[in-house]
């Protein structure tokens, strides 16, 4: 075991040094096999290197919470504006038309709900991800959780082992326990643990000092939106995350709980891919609304 005495916090993040892509538009993926690169290119736009993922997997722990009561009515009309869909296999098979032809980041672990103890998850079979033509598999990690940390890290590296056989990239999703401080030190550690265990994408949360989180993570980081914010603030969140090194967003509630969900996702898309400022993004939101 590494000597934990004199554990020094990282300070040399090279924040003025931009990442050199090494001939491929997805960070850390230059040396991956063709199938991995093809799948990652379906998620991350080769022109911008960025992505707007629409997350609507909330029902698997929360049930029909606000905005996902009717996938056919609330979510499907938004999918045309998303670069990638993140959902469970049950919703994909029952409610998402295959003719949409959108890449899917398949929620690939499940176990508990908000009614009991969250995070006690197991993996679905990689064969199911293949059958569903998933472009990536998403697996949650409860870093810092004394009960579920080891199990969820094991879920991630098992998913990486299985996904690698078929060139399916894995997205590590960092859950935040109530006891964790939501700061750059925590998210930096959690994101790096995902990448060190083979994740090709990391999903985490924006925080002050996020540029260090993104800089120290050798694969692309996308941010979750978290609880619903006023639209202008949500666009600021997207802008700040991209500005600080995120490769995109994987948002749910700030899209489907918006007063104008289809307009909101278009405004987010413009901020992420076209470099609109939050002010310009909000003007677009108001104009289209």
Q: Which of 251, 264, 270, 276 binds ligand R5P (CB under 6 A)?
A: 251
CA 179 to chain centre: 22
Cα angle 148-222-25, degrees, rounded to a multiple of 5 = 125
CB atoms within 10 A of CB 181: 11
Among 176, 97, 105, smallest CA distance to 144 is for: 176
Using CA atoms in the order 99, 105, 109, 115, what is the torsion angle rounded to 10 degrees? -80
> Where does this chain touch ligand R5P (CB under 6 A) — which range of 28-36, 50-58, 89-97, 210-218?
50-58
Q: Which of 28, 252, 278, 281 binds ligand R5P (CB under 6 A)?
A: 252
> Where does this chain touch ligand R5P (CB under 6 A) — which range of 90-98, 176-184, 222-230, 237-245?
222-230
Which pairs count as long-range contacts for 178-184, CB under 8 Å and 24+ apart, including other chains?
A: 179/144, 180/143, 180/144, 182/207, 183/207, 183/208, 183/209, 184/208, 184/209, 184/210, 184/212, 184/213
Q: Which of 68, 126, 224, 237 binds ligand R5P (CB under 6 A)?
A: 224
Active-site residue, from 27, 37, 203, 212:
203
Q: Which is nearer to ligand R5P, 198 or 226 (CB)?
A: 226
| Residue 256: CB minimum distance to ligand R5P, A | 8
| Residue 137: CB minimum distance to ligand R5P, A | 13
Q: Which is nearer to ligand R5P, 118 or 189 (CB)?
A: 118
Q: Which is nearer to ligand R5P, 32 or 268 (CB)?
A: 268
Q: Which of 76, 226, 229, 283 binds ligand R5P (CB under 6 A)?
A: 226
Positions 137 through 196 that interact with ligand R5P (CB under 6 A): 140, 173
Q: Which is nearer to ligand R5P, 26 or 52 (CB)?
A: 52
Among 168, 43, 166, smallest CA distance to 102 is for: 43
CA 96 to chain centre: 19
Tokens read off for 3 = 């000597």
Q: Which is nearer to ligand R5P, 37 or 200 (CB)?
A: 200
Among 280, 289, 187, smallest CA distance to 235 is for: 280
Q: Does residue 203 carry a catalytic annotation?
A: yes
For residue 192, the surrounding DSSP H or E stretch is helix 184-196
Evaluate whether 88 touches 110 at the Cβ level (below 8 Å). Answer: yes
Positions 55 through 114 that interact with ligand R5P (CB under 6 A): 55, 57-58, 86
Residue 236 touches ligand R5P, criterion: CB under 6 A: no
Active site residues: 203
Binding site for ligand R5P (CB under 6 A): 55, 57-58, 86, 140, 173, 224-226, 250-254
């Amino acid at each position: 075991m590494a000597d934990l005495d004199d554990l020094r916090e990282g300070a040399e993040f090279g924040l003025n040094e931009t990442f050199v892509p090494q001939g491929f538009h997805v960070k850390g993926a230059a040396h991956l096999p063709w199938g991995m690169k093809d799948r990652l290119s379906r998620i991350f736009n080769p022109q911008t290197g960025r992505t707007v993922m629409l997350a609507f997997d909330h029902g698997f722990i929360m049930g029909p919470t606000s905005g996902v009561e009717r996938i056919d009515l609330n979510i499907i009309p938004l999918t045309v504006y998303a670069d990638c869909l993140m959902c469970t296999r049950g919703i994909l098979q029952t409610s998402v038309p295959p003719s949409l032809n959108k890449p899917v980041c398949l929620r690939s672990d499940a176990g508990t709900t908000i009614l009991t103890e969250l995070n006690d998850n197991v993996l679905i079979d990689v064969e199911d991800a293949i059958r569903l033509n998933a472009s990536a598999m998403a697996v949650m990690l409860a870093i810092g959780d004394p009960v579920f940390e080891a199990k969820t890290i094991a879920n991630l590296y098992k998913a990486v082992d299985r996904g690698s056989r078929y060139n399916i990239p894995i997205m590590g999703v960092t859950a935040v326990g109530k006891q964790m401080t939501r700061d750059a030190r925590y998210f930096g550690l959690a994101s790096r643990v995902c990448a060190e265990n083979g994740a090709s994408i990391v999903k985490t949360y924006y925080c002050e000092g996020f540029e260090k989180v993104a800089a120290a993570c050798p694969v692309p980081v996308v941010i979750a939106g978290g609880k619903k914010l006023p639209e202008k603030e949500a666009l600021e969140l997207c802008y700040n995350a991209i500005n600080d090194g995120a490769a995109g967003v994987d948002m749910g509630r700030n899209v489907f709980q918006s007063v104008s969900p289809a307009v909101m996702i278009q405004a987010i898309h413009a901020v992420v891919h076209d470099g609109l400022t939050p002010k310009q993004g909000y003007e677009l939101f108001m104009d289209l609304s």
